Each structure stands twice: as C-alpha cells, then as structure tokens.
C-alpha cells in the first residue's frame, strides 16, 4: 500500500525537478553566454542524449532498482541544487568557451541521472502488469514536466530567482530520496547519511545565499548596488559610486549618469529637428524615461507614449529617487503615457499616427530583441508614422560592432525612402551610432534649432554628427528579417572578434 501511494508521488516529483533543472541551466547559460536559441538547442539536445544513455544504463542496476533510484536522487539533487550557484561562480572565473563546456557537462550529468529515474521506478513496481505500470509512470512524469514549465516563468524566475530555485529543487530531490530511504531501507544507513550531508550542504547555501549573491554581484558590477529587482523579463540593477548612477539590465550596462545626456540628446533632438512640428511622440523602450525627459524639452510636444515590456521599470522611474532625479520626474509628467507592452505587439495593433518614433531598445543580443531590428518591425514603424514622420533607432557601437550598425542601416534602406546614419562619442560606451529615416529626402542642413538648455548638443554638433569617420564604412550585409535574424549572428561575431583581440593584448 505504501508503494502505491509514495512511488507515484516520487515519479511526479522526479519529473518536475528534472525539467526545472533544464530550464534553470538553459536560462542561466543564456544570461551569461547570450544567443538563447543556441543555448536552449544545445542544452536540450545534450539533455535528451544523456537521458537516453541513462535509460540504457539503468537496466544494469534493475535488481535493486528502488535503492539505486534513491542514490540517483541524492546525486541528482546535489548536482542540480548547486548547478546554478556553480555557474554563477564560474562566470567570473573562466572564459566563455570553458563556461560553455562546463554548462554542457553539467546538463549531461543531470540528463544521465534523469534518464535513469523512470526505468528504475518502473522496475521497482515489480508488477506483472508491466505495461500498465509503465504508462502510469510516464503519465505522472510528463505531468510533473508540465507543472515545471508553468511555474518556472510565472513563479520561480520572477519571485524566487535562479540561484534559490536551483537550491530549493535540489533539496526537494534530496528529501524525496531520504523519505524513500526511511520507508523502504531503514537499515541502509550509509545512503541515508549521504543524503543528509547533501541536504545540509544545500541548506547552508540557502542560509548564506544572500551573502554569496551579494559578493558575486559586487564582483560583477564593481560599484555599490542601490537597487536590484528580478522581474519576469530581466534583472534590473542600479549602482552608485559618488555621483555616477548606472543602470544594468541582465548585467549589461544601459546608461551612466555621467554621460547619458550625450546619448539621449542625440537620440531625441536630432530626429525632432528634422520634423517641422513634432507633437505626438512614440518611444519604444526607454522605460527609465530619460528619452521622454529630452522629448519634454520641445514645447510643441503634446503627447509622449512610452512603450516598455517591463512595468517594473516604469515603477522604478516613478519611485526610485536616483532615477527620478536623473529623468527629472518625466515618468510622472501628464504628457507622458506609460504603456507596458511588447514593442512589436504594440506597433502591430496600434492605429494611431506619430510624428516621431524613437526606438530606444537594447542591442540585438537575443532572438527576442533581434526581431525589433527586422524589416517587418521597421515596416510597422513606418505604418505608424504621419506623412512627415521621422523614425530613429539606436544602432550600437559603430567601430567594434560595425556589421550590426551596417545591417540596421541596410535593413532600413529596404523600408524608408531616405536613411542616414549619425554618431556620438559616449565615454561609457564608445562611438555610438544612430540611424534616422524618413519617407522623404532630407539632409543635415534641414536641422531646425535645438532647445537651448541642452548640455551637450548644439546646432553645429548635430550637423557634424552625420559625418562618419573615414575608417567607418557601411558594410554589405544581409537584410535582417523575422525569418532570418542575421543581426544576432553579426552581433556575436563582431564582439567575439574584438573580445578575443582584447584578451590577446592583455597577456
């Protein structure tokens, strides 16, 4: 009777935990190594392959299947529990290639052990009705997997975080093994001690996790952290050193208060000066409201719609004292409407027209962001513009990431009648590029007068920004589309090349 109750529960928990480990490691690898499709594809492939090996090996230990299942739970619980903390530690200790190998090695071991679980549990039922037992075991295992895929994005990632989710589910595996050990093998003291030691180790990680994460964060950001929030979409971190406030999204810097005015003044006021009377403005991204701060300096502006997928960024823009000071309380201005929505979805559904559309989106480091630089995205932006409307997008570093910069311009050329690149040097980032587009011809000489209260930009500087350095050319690239997001490959190739050079030069 005990077996009929406990073993089905064990099957469900085993299926739940193993999928959670896979999702945790895939997400962590994407954060640290980028290219989500590549990471998930590699990890899922290695995971399934090693599960097959584990399932095959299980037939050699079927004589004491339940005891071996318990041992598997101990090993799997410990390795799965420390997997994310270990990857966090390795991220700041090893190079990306080594980290990739270790990620795949970790998921291989987890997959190998996971592959043993269902066969060992099936053998342990010891019933003549093997087919029925097998179907019951598999159904419960699959149900556990489904629950894992539902709780991961909606509960674990936003509210528990990767680090603690890994440790907690490792403890769940270990507790399952200990319970089965106590119920069926009370005399197997060695295995019970093994499970208990592993459980105590993970419990220590829970207790001291906050301290460990704080030390790790300080090694990553190198400046005191004043705000840190994990949302369903990203990890938001604000740091402060003296008067320099910096915003990081998933550990990638978004701005430094020391020089962000150069970026935002160039992003906003140059396209504004190409429109005779900009009244309705759309800002895609820019949830911290620094772009809307600049837009409000133009007296003709009547309405600014800011579309950002993460509502938490809007909340911080309104409530965090550092952000409020930098954005000059723009997020609370009555002219500013904050819309929590995906930029692609918004453009597709929107029927209103805007005089200026500003794309203040992150660099195309993932497939989800790469689509926001696609021909289809730009076509929707064009459809949302008035007849004299102006579109502008940030376009990355023009020297180290020239192929990405070129790809954005070449893609925009497929959509708009006239497209022109310009640039601004930003000490925190480098020589940063922007591309402005209209449905009619224009030239830098068409620029109107700029607001007088700007810190960096003036009329002459604005016109000179369209003159690219002699060593910067627009490379021939493929067009970035939804079906073929080449810009992601360009981004990885550009920065991998230069990162390799930097590492070589420092040796």
Residue 53 CB partners (closer than 8 Å, separation 6+): 112, 115
Q: Which residues lie closer than 8 Å to 493 by C-beta, 6 or more apart?
A: 403
CB burial class (10 A; 0-12, 13-18, 19+) of residue 72? Answer: buried
The CA R_g of the chain, rounded to the nearest whole Å, is: 27
Between the CA of residue 329 and those of 287, 297, 308, 336, 450, what are the distances in Å? 12, 13, 17, 10, 22
**Furthest-apart CA atoms within the chain: distance in Å:** 88
- φ and ψ at residue 38, rounded to 5 degrees: -65, -45
The strands making up 418-426's β-sheet, listed across from edge to edge, are 336-340, 303-308, 280-285, 354-360, 385-397, 430-438, 418-426
Report how far residue 166's alpha carbon sits from residue 17's, in angstroms, rounded to the nearest whole number.
9
**CA distances for 56 relative to 51, 52, 69, 169, 474, angstroms:** 9, 6, 14, 25, 54
Query: In what order do the strands lie in the sheet containing 252-256?
Result: 225-230, 235-241, 244-249, 252-256
Report how far residue 387's alpha carbon sits from residue 353's, in angstroms, rounded to the nearest whole number.
9
Active site residue 360: yes
Residue holding tokens 């193993």? 18
Would you call 103 exposed, middle or buried from its count of C-beta atoms within 10 A (0-12, 13-18, 19+)? buried
Number of neighbours of residue 425 by Cβ within 10 angstroms: 13
Q: Report the distance separating Cα 386 and Cα 350, nearest Å.
A: 13
Distance of alpha carbon 214 from its chain centroid, rounded? 20
Active-site option among 133, 355, 360, 489: 360
Residue with the two structure tokens 């392959």: 49
β-sheet bridge partners, residue 426: 430
List, by residue number, the catalytic residues.
Answer: 360
């Amino acid at each position: 009777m005990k077996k009929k109750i406990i073993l089905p529960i064990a099957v469900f928990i085993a299926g739940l935990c193993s999928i959670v480990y896979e999702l945790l490691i895939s997400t962590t690898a994407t954060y640290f190594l980028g290219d989500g499709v590549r990471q998930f594809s590699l990890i899922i492939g290695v995971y399934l392959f090693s599960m097959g090996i584990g399932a095959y090996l299980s037939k050699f230990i079927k004589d004491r299947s339940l005891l071996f299942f318990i041992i598997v739970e101990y090993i799997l619980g410990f390795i799965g529990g420390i997997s994310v903390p270990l990857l966090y530690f390795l991220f700041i200790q090893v190079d990306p290639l080594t980290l990739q190998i270790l990620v795949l090695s970790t998921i291989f071991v987890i997959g190998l052990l996971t592959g043993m679980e269902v066969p060992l549990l099936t053998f342990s039922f010891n019933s003549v009705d093997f087919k029925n037992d097998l179907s019951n075991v598999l159904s419960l295992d699959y149900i556990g997997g489904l629950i894992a895929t539902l709780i991961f994005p909606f509960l674990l990632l936003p509210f528990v975080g990767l680090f603690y989710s890994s440790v907690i589910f490792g403890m769940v595996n270990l507790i399952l093994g200990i319970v089965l050990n106590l119920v069926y093998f009370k005399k197997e003291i060695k295995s019970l001690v093994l499970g208990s030691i592993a459980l105590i180790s993970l419990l220590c990680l829970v207790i001291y996790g906050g301290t460990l994460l704080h030390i790790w964060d300080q090694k990553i950001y190198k400046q005191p952290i004043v705000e840190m929030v994990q949302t369903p979409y990203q990890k938001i971190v604000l740091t402060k050193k003296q008067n320099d406030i910096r915003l990081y999204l998933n550990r990638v810097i978004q701005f430094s208060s020391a020089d962000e005015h150069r970026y935002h003044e160039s992003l906003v006021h140059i396209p504004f000066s190409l429109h005779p009377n900009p009244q309705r403005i759309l800002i895609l991204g820019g949830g911290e409201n620094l772009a809307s701060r600049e837009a409000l300096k133009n007296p003709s502006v009547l309405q600014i719609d800011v579309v950002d997928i993460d509502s938490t960024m809007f909340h911080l823009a309104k409530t965090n004292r550092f952000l409020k000071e930098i954005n000059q309380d723009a997020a609370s201005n009555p002219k500013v409407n904050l819309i929590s929505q995906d930029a692609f979805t918004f453009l597709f559904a929107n029927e209103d027209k805007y005089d200026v559309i500003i794309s203040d989106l992150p660099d195309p480091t993932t497939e989800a962001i790469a689509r926001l630089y696609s021909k289809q995205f730009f076509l929707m932006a064009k459809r949302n513009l008035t007849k004299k409307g102006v579109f502008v997008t940030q376009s990355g570093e023009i020297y180290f990431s020239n192929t990405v910069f070129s790809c954005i311009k070449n893609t925009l050329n497929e959509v708009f009648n006239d497209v022109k690149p310009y640039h601004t040097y930003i000490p925190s980032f480098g020589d940063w590029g922007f591309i402005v587009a209209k449905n009619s011809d224009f030239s830098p000489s068409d620029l109107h007068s700029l607001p007088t209260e700007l810190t960096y930009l003036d009329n002459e500087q604005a016109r000179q920004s369209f003159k690219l350095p002699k060593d910067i050319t627009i490379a021939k690239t493929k067009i970035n589309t939804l079906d073929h997001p080449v810009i992601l490959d360009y981004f990885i190739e550009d920065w991998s090349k230069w990162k390799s050079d930097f590492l070589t030069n420092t040796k």
